[in-house]
Each structure stands twice: as C-alpha cells, then as structure tokens.
Amino acid sequence: MEERKKLLQIRDLKKHFAIKRGFRNKTFVKAVDGVSLDIYKGETLGLVGESGCGKTTLGRTAIRLYEPTGGQIIYDDKTIYDGEKKIKEPMLPYRRKMQIIFQDPSASLDPRMTVGEIVGEALDIHKLYQGKNERMGRIKSLLDAVGLNTEHSNRFPHEFSGGQQQRIGIARALAVEPEFIVCDEPISALDVSIQSQVVNMLEDLQAELGLTYLFIAHDISVVRHISNRIGVMYLGNLVELAKSTELYKNPIHPYTKTLMSAVPIPDPEKTRARERLILEGDIPSPMNPPKGCKFHTRCPYATARCKEEIPQFKEYGKEHFAACHMLETYGA
Amino acid sequence: MEQKGNLLEIKNLKVSFFTPAGEVKAVDDISYNMGYNEVMGIVGESGSGKSVEAYSVIGLLQNPGKVTGGSIIFEGEDILAYNEEEMRKFRGNKVSMIFQNPMTCLNPVYTIGNQLIEALTCHDKSISKEDARKRSIEMLEKVGINNAEKRMEQYPHEFSGGMRQRAMIAMALICKPKLLIADEPTTALDVTIQAQILEVMKDLQKQENTSIIFITHNLGVVAEMCDKVSVMYAGKIVEQGDVDDIFYKPAHPYTKGLLESMPRLDAVEHERLIPIEGTPIDLLNPPQGCNFGPRCKSCMKICLSKKPPVADLGKGHISACWLHFMKKEEEVK
C-alpha cells in the first residue's frame, strides 16, 4: 500500500466551555477532552456518537472555529495551534484550505444576501479573482458543480428547498478550493429521498477534487456508507477508531457494540433474527462526567478498575484502536 | 383474546387545509382497515400527509384543516359524527396519541404524577385518589421508569428526553386505549435511547393488546415494529401491504426508490446510492396525473395525464401505479 500522507493531525485536543453558576463560580463542560486523531489525505473519516458526545465541537475545534483549550493541531506538517508552546498561527491562509458545511442549511445562510453574494463573499475575502467577469464565471461554475442553475445566483436563500439550500452551503465551502472539509451533519435536516442526492454529490465532489472529509453525523448507516474510517465518541473522548467495514463487522468496545446493535436495519427478517443489546440508562451529563472510564455507568462489563482508572487508547488490531480495560486484560 | 373484525376503517378520507394561497389537499382519498392487535406503520416524507391523517383520526385537526370527505369508523361508529363531548370521551379512552416532542405535551408546571392521575380521573370519575395513584405508579414501572414513586413527584424538566418519552407512553396507555397513535415517537432521540423506547412499546403492545399506528420516516424502525405498512406520498397511499411484502416485493416505484436510496448498515460493499431525483411536489399545485410522476423513473405518458388506479396484488398488498395495469395488458396481448 502506498504511503498515506497525514493531512490533519490532532494531538490531545481539548475544548472546555465555561459555565457560570452564580457569582464567581465557574464549572466547565469538557466537550472534547483529549482526542488524538490523524486524518489522511483523500479519505473520509466519519465521527459518530450520541448527542452531547462532543462530535460537533471536535469538528469545529479541529479547524479552530472554536479556540481550543489545549492540545495540538498540525495541518500539512505545520503546527497551527499548540496549547503548550502558545503557537497561534494566523488562520486566514488556512481557512482557504479548511472549510465547513453546517447542519442547518437555512440557519447557515444569510437571509439578506443573494446566493451569488454568499458564494462570492468567500472569493472576495481571499481575493481569488481578477475582474468582475472572472468572479461571475467562478460563481457560475460553482453553482453548476453542485447542481444549481446560473439564474439561481440572484435569488435569496428562502426561495430554495432544504436540499437546495444545503447545496448552496456546499458551493460556498467549495468556493475557496479547499483541501479539507468538515461536514457537520450535512444531511440530517433533509428528507430521506433528498439525503441520498446530497450524499452522492459529496462523493462525486470528493472523487473529482481530491477532497478530504471529516464527516460528522449521528446516523450510523450514512457514516458507514460514506466513510473509510469511523471514530466513535462518547462524552468527549474517542472510544474506538477503525476502518468502517471492520467497525461494523467486529466492534470491540462495548459502547460501539451496543450502538451498532441499536441501529434499526430496514430488513424485517434480519431484524427478527438479530439479538439486541439494549443499553441501560442515559448518557451522563458532560458537566459532571463519571470518574474513570466515562462509560462505566452504562457498561454491562464494568469492573472496579473501570470506576477508578481512565483506559488508554490503544491499537488492538490492524488500524483498530479502542479504549477499554477489558480489552487490555482479555484481548480483543 | 383474539378479537375479529376491524378496529378502524378509514374510507376515502380527504383532509384539506384552506390557506390564503389556496386549498391544500393534505390527505387525498385514502382508505385502509386496521384489525385488533395490529401495528401499522405509515411511512412518508415530511409533507406527505402522514401526521394529518393521524390527527384526523383522533380529532385533533386544527384550523384551517378540515375533513372534506370520507368516513372514519372506529368499532362500528363513525367518529366524524361525534360532537365535542362524545369526542372528548373517545379521545384518551379509546384512542390516544404520543408525539415526537414530549415536551410539547407534558405540562411543565405540574408533576408527572399529577398529570398521570389527571389523565385517569378525567376519564373515570369514580376512581379514588389512592387507586389512581397506585395505577400511575404501576404504569410508570411498566414503561421502565425506576424509582417510580419518587419520579411521580418530579417535574418534566427533571426527566431526560428518553424518560419523558416513557412518561408520555405511560400517560397515553393509562386508560387502556384500543388504539395508540405514535407520531414519530423516536425521531428526536439517540439510537440507543430509540432502541430502549421501541423495546418498551413492543412489550406493552403485547401485554395490553393495543393496536398501534406508527408514523415515521425511518424504514428501519418500521421493519422492526410493524405488521403492516402504508407508504404515503403527497397525500395518497401509494402502496400498502404486509411488512415482508413491502420490503421484499415492493411494487410501487416510490417504495422501491426509498429502499434503494437508503444507506444500509449491513451493506457488504460500498454501493453507490440510487437517489430519487427531484424534489417533493408542491401540494398547492398538484400535477394532473400521478403525484409521483414527475420524479418517477418509469414515468409513462398516461402517468402525467391521469391519476393511477389502485391495483390489488393479493393478500392485502395494494399499489397505486399505472405500471401494474400496463403489465396486464401486455400479458393479454
């Protein structure tokens, strides 16, 4: 296999949000609490997890839309953030390389700007054209690439359906010719029949432009479809990371196992045949996470050690990482 | 105890919304029967009329929505002929409903116990306070809420999303209705919580012999929960049948399209999705012919000019598409 190039490296990344409770009293929500990840050029890395597990925060912190609390971000071999050495690179040149597509298409488009202005604004900021004609031409070809018509450029976002609005969001992200795009639940606000259109388009664009995606979604079937590798998050930590086929066939972390078995499969016979692992209880509050392994409150295999000691994130198979004491003791 | 006959018969039901922009036929001429102890899934995209249809069964349609034709017969009685007072007795007692967002139905300023007891005493004036309390606690335990006695004294905001949905189910089933309408009960929940709630609903359905109309857009949930499925598109039922028929022998192009367009967790290899092209129709200006015609891969001339009739494919499997009639003609030739 050819040597794969690491495009984005995240080392022990942390993002804590302060919450004021009364006078001078601050508590922290550790939304992302020490995540390390490598994203290779040209791949799609999926992130799944329940709501509140920090997957969106991780996506936004990775491209410094949120200022990290600690850790390191290395993009294309250049450190753009280092919490210890206090390195903070100016971001504008990197914004051209890293873009994001948001979850709610209508909320992420300015209602007072036309589609042409929305897409063109990115070109203006990065001064990517000479003369008005070139600017117009670029906007046209971008709209074309996402399956919209040229005459749409004079309309406002509210005149479009949800699926079309998401296409506008994608055109805006593509305007600066990025290498890396964070797709933050890009299809969960869309209707089922529209979802597959957008998924296919994202795949086509990736093949055509050589893009790298960090694909965040709570719908595991979609993530499994689009991703090469999948990371599973629980309460601010990565609990398992593996190739997507491997993760489905052979999940090793108890949380991933229950998560996989909870996904409904549109096949009545398979559904009747399969045994379900039902997870007890709810996800604990991230403001007051459990000590030790954060999953121990819901884990069917939890031992005394799990309540005290935080498990290390280790490799258990080929490119198959997980954080669990059980695996350490008994193997995968 | 097996009861024969139909619990619910819907015949040619039509519901319209009279908006300033014109009449929107949200539900356009649908008919189906439901037996006792049956779980029927209604699948469709947003705006396909699946919720409106259910709201009209329980009499919760709001202005400007009106039933403009057809009948809804529940255990032999036409509920469209009921007056307000009869409707109130019918609602909750015989039919009840759970909604997508439990916070919209739970009152934030009353305790959960208070609301459960109220549901009971409203429908059964003779029940004593102690009995009502006992039954409420029992019901909470049945839906899997631990510490039910303590939970009775808590307010909805002290419950998590999954717990609220459980409390809603308890409230809906406390008067032992014959029919439960579940309007996207798990859409707002995480998959792990969704699995818990579905499990509770399955168990209770068996224990209490309740029929359920399960409205959802998630085909996976349908495969798991339902005996029968109706697929709705733009106000019409396009296909209906047993759950196995719908998943293994889909007849209508829309149903086929939905099944093909969904990414599957259990896929062996990466297969490209086959999307349904185009966007859902504007119900203000429905097309002259088949509603699905403009997006259909096998659209023919006749599809654009005439509404398709319903074809009976046997064993209660029906599909409204011109294709079935074309095939027959070819066979005759």
Q: Which of A200, A206, A176, A173 is nearest to A187 (CA)?
A: A200
Please state the rounded mean pLDDT for residues A226-240.
92
B158 and chain A: CB distance < 8 Å anywhere? no
**In this prediction, what percent of chain B has a pLDDT beyond 90?**
19
Residues 6+ apart with CB under 8 A from B323: B253, B298, B300
Rounded-to-integer distance, Cα B255 and Cα B324, Å: 14
Provide the number of CB pairs (under 8 Å) joining chain A to chain B: 126
Question: ipTM for the complex?
Answer: 0.81
Q: Residues 57-76, chain B: which have Cβ within 8 Å of A?
A: none
Residue B257 at interface with chain A, using a CB cutoff of 8 Å: yes
- Give the pLDDT of residue B2: 54
Decide if pLDDT at A240 tops 60. Answer: yes
Q: Quote the pLDDT of residue A332.
A: 60
Nearest residue on chain B to A257, alpha-carbon basis: B192
Q: Which two tokens stand for residue B199?
A: 């499990």
Beta bridge partners of B239: B231, B319
**Using an 8 Å Cβ cutoff, are B70 and B76 in contact?**
no
Residue that has been written with the tokens 């999953």 in this structure: A295
Q: Does the pLDDT at position A244 exceed 80? A: yes
* Closest Cβ opposite residue A278 in set B199, B247, B259: B199
Q: What are phi and psi of A184, to 5 degrees?
A: -95, 95
**Residue B323: strand, helix, or coil:** helix
Q: Choose the most confident range, by mean pLDDT, from A77-86, A168-177, B182-191.
A: A168-177
Q: What is the pLDDT of residue B333?
A: 44
B167, B170, B180, B174: which is closest to B121 by C-alpha? B174
Residue A195 pLDDT more than 70?
yes
From the list A229, A188, A237, A194, the residue with the least C-alpha distance to A212 is A229
Contacts of A225 in chain B (CB under 8 A): 263-264, 267, 270, 273
Contact B272 A200 (CB under 8 A): yes
Structure tokens at B82: 């009921």
Structure tokens at A130: 């000479």
Question: How far are the Cα atoms of A249, A300, B191 from residue A330, in angstroms, in the given order?
Answer: 19, 16, 28
Lowest mean pLDDT of B37-46, B185-194, B255-264, B323-332, name the range.
B323-332
Handedness of CA B112, B114, B115, B120 (dihedral sign): positive
The Cα angle at residue B28 between residues B27 and B32, in degrees rounded to 5: 85
Instruction: Please state the domain extents for chain A.
Output: 6-97+178-330
Give the start-end residues of each E strand in A41-191.
44-48, 70-75, 78-82, 87-88, 98-101, 180-184
- Residue A251 sits at the vertex; the CA angle it makes with B166 and A43, to the nearest 5 degrees, is 110
Q: Per residue in A26-57, pLDDT tens? A: 888 888 988 999 999 999 999 998 888 888 99
Beta-bridge partner residues of A196: none
Task: Give pLDDT tens digits for A256-313.
Answer: 998 888 888 888 888 888 877 787 777 888 888 888 898 988 888 888 888 888 888 8
Q: How far is CA A315 from CA A251, A253, B270, B286, in A?
A: 13, 12, 25, 57
Nearest CA in chain B to A274: B224
Confidence check: pLDDT of B3 > 70: no
Residue A1 confidence (pLDDT): 43
Q: Answer yes or no: are the C-beta atoms of A175 and A205 closer than 8 Å.
A: no
Tokens matching residue B11? 């015949």
Question: b/e per residue, A189-215, with b = 16+ CB within 10 A?
Answer: bbbbbbbbbbbbbbbebbeeeebbbbb
Q: Tell me what pLDDT residue B328 has.
A: 61
Which residues on A lie below 8 Å from B224 (Cβ)? Answer: 264, 268, 271
Give dist(CA A300, CA A296) in Å, integer: 8
- Report whether A278 contacts A258 (CB < 8 A): yes
| Residue A329 or residue A177, greater confidence | A177
Predicted pLDDT at A181: 94
Q: Between chains, do B267 and A225 touch, taking CB under 8 Å as contact?
A: yes
Nearest beta carbon to residue B223 from set A220, A265, A276: A265
Structure token digits, residue A52: 């509140």
The model's pLDDT over B198-238, given as tens digits with 9 standing for 90+, comes to 988 888 898 888 999 999 888 889 998 899 999 999 888 99
Q: Which of A226, A259, A269 sits opposite B192 (nearest CB)?
A: A259
pLDDT digit string (tens) for B80-116?
A: 888 888 888 888 888 999 988 888 888 999 999 999 9
Q: Is the pLDDT of residue B331 over 60?
A: no
Q: SS3 for B238?
A: strand
Q: Per-residue pLDDT for A2 more than 60? A: no
Which among A220, A262, A266 has CB closest to B219? A266
Among chain B residues, the shortest Cα distance to A196 is held by B275
pTM score: 0.85
The pLDDT assigned to A3 comes to 64
B227 touches chain A (CB under 8 A): no
Query: Closest partner residue to B264 among A191, A200, A221, by Cβ?
Result: A221
Taking the Cβ of residue B259 and every Cβ of chain A, the question of whether any pair is shorter than 8 Å is answered with: yes
Tell me the nearest-neighbour CA distance from B265 into chain A, angstroms. Answer: 4
Cβ–Cβ of B275/A193 closer than 8 Å? Answer: yes
Pairing of strands A87-88, A78-82: antiparallel
Average pLDDT over residues A141-161: 89
By residue count, chain B amounts to 333
A293: tokens are: 């392994």
At which residue do the structure tokens 């209660």 appear?
A: B316
CATH value of A6-97+178-330 in 3.40.50.800, 3.40.1010.10, 3.40.50.300, 3.50.50.60: 3.40.50.300
Structure tokens at B270: 């990466």
User: What's chain B's average pLDDT?
Assistant: 86
> How far is CA A12 from its chain centroid?
16
Distance CA B328, CA B84 (A): 49
Least trusted range by pLDDT, from A66-75, A213-222, B280-289: B280-289
CA angle B100, B191, A15 (to 5 degrees): 105
Q: Is B263 on the interface with A (CB under 8 A)?
A: yes
Tell me whether B146 touches chain A (CB under 8 Å).
no
What does the pLDDT average to over A57-85? 90
DSSP B154: S
Q: Of B259, B266, B279, which has the smallest distance from its Cβ to A265's Cβ?
A: B266
Burial B180-193 (b: 16+ CB within 10 A, else e): bbbbbbbebbbbbb
